[in-house]
Every structure is written in structure tokens, then in C-alpha cells.
A and B are shown apart, each in its own frame.
Chain A
Amino acid sequence: MIKVQIENFSLESEISKLLEKNSNVGAISSFIGVVRNKYKDKDLVSMTLEHYPGMTEKMLKKIEDEAISRWNLLDTLIIHRYGELFPGNNIVLVITLSKHRQDSINACHFLIDWLKTKGPFWKYEKTKNSGHWVEALESDNLEERKWES
């Protein structure tokens, strides 16, 4: 399931809902991305996530479908927030459920790597005296490429 929202999320309540929905779950993996409090040596005031409504849902669904085709999963959840966020706030949640651990661990890792480079989001970081758009990292592209099969 895909959710693109302004609101915060709770890992615990999302896992509870997924466990109610699924039976024979043997493994749950999760990842949460959080806003850091520094940009280089400066204090970060906020991070605003812009996205492309419509395309975001479409791309996230594609990424989820890819994970489902590669691993034996019982369920998946991706929640990606947008709007103005502050240091310590949650940005993204990925949860994968499977019977055996390797499927949930690898699918969760894959999902967050692909979200980094294929999720149509752009981040604007504000410090006390300035602001800048976050550039894509070459290291993220390398992380994504390692899943090429």
C-alpha cells in the first residue's frame, strides 16, 4: 500500500494494522527516514519536500510492484510525507512482511534505495541565513544500481 501525506505516521500502529490484515507472518522489516538537524556545520531549520502529485503515487506503486515481483512478500507499506518538516521529524516509512526474514529484509532495503532515486520528491533545506535545494547524490545512484538484475 502507498500513502503520500502531510501527516506524521506511527510505526507501531502501522505494524499492528498490517498484522491484523495478514496471517502466517514470520518476519517484519521496517525503515524510517528522519530529518537531520545539520546541513554541513550549520543548524538545519527545516526541510520542505515538494512532490509531483499523481506521478508520485504512480512511481511509488511501480517501485512497490517491483519489490513484490522480486521477493516473496505477504504485504508492503510505503508512507512518504511532503510539506515542511523539522529536524527529528519522520520523512518516510517502509514496512515489508514475509514468512521468512530474507524476503522482508532485502525488499525493505531495495524499496528505500529505489525511493531515493525514483521517488519524484525534491527537498529544500533551510538554515538560519540561507536555503538550498538538495542535490541527488551519486552514492544513491550506486546504491540503486546494485539492485539491477
Chain B
Amino acid sequence: MKILYFSWIKDGIGKHQEEITLNENIKTISQLIDFLIKIDQKYKEVFSDMSSIRFSKNMNVVNIDEKISNNDEIAFFPPMTGG
């Protein structure tokens, strides 16, 4: 699975993107976050305030309970500030 990070989330984690292979226990974005938090303290810090984080699956904004698979592209970003 391809994961992208934007804005201060990218700065906090220290990378813009990464590839991971999901194990069968990870079926939703929420479970993916729980998995990432256990990898490194950086993820724990970034994901400590979920109210300021949004998600997309294959370039569509989704909610935290969205089902995911290894073929998906997931992105984490703060609320958008276009215009």
C-alpha cells in the first residue's frame, strides 16, 4: 500500500510517502493508524490529535472507518487551505 503524508504531518513523520504491506488484521484506516503508532514515536506524536487530521483513499476524502486494502493509496493531511 502506498501512504502519502502532507503538510505538518509529513514534517512530523519525516517523509512524504512510504510503501507498506498490510497484514490481514488491518482492514480500516483506524486500524492502519493503530499499526503505524506502534512502529515509531513520530507517528504517535503526529496522530495524537486526530481532530486535525483528514484522510483520503484513492484520492477521495473518506472517514476513519473506511475499508482499505493493499492496492489502495491512502493519504493523511490536515484540513485543506486552498484558494
Contacts and interface: CB of A to CB of B under 8 A. Distances in A.
Contacts of B59: 52, 54-55, 58
Contacts, number: 64
Contacts of B7: 50, 122, 124, 133
A15 B56 CA distance: 34
Nearest to B59: A55
A116 B75 contact: no
A120 to B, nearest CB: 5
B81 A123 contact: yes
Interface string A73-108: 000000010000000000110000000000000000
Interface in A114-141: 115-124, 133-136, 140
Interface residues of A, number: 25
A33 to B, nearest CB: 5
Interface residues of B, number: 16
A115 B6 CA distance: 18
Contact of B82 (A54, A58, A115): A115
B75 A136 contact: no
Given A52-B75, A58-B59, A133-B78, A122 B83 contact: no
B80 A120 contact: yes
Given A54-B59, A58-B59, A118 B4 contact: no
B78 A121 contact: no
Given A58-B59, A120-B77, A122-B77, A52 B4 contact: yes
A117 B8 contact: no
B4 A80 contact: no
B82 A92 contact: yes
B81 A116 contact: yes
Interface in B27-59: 56, 59
Closest 6 A-B residue pairs measured CB to CB? Answer: A119-B82, A136-B79, A122-B7, A55-B59, A116-B83, A115-B83
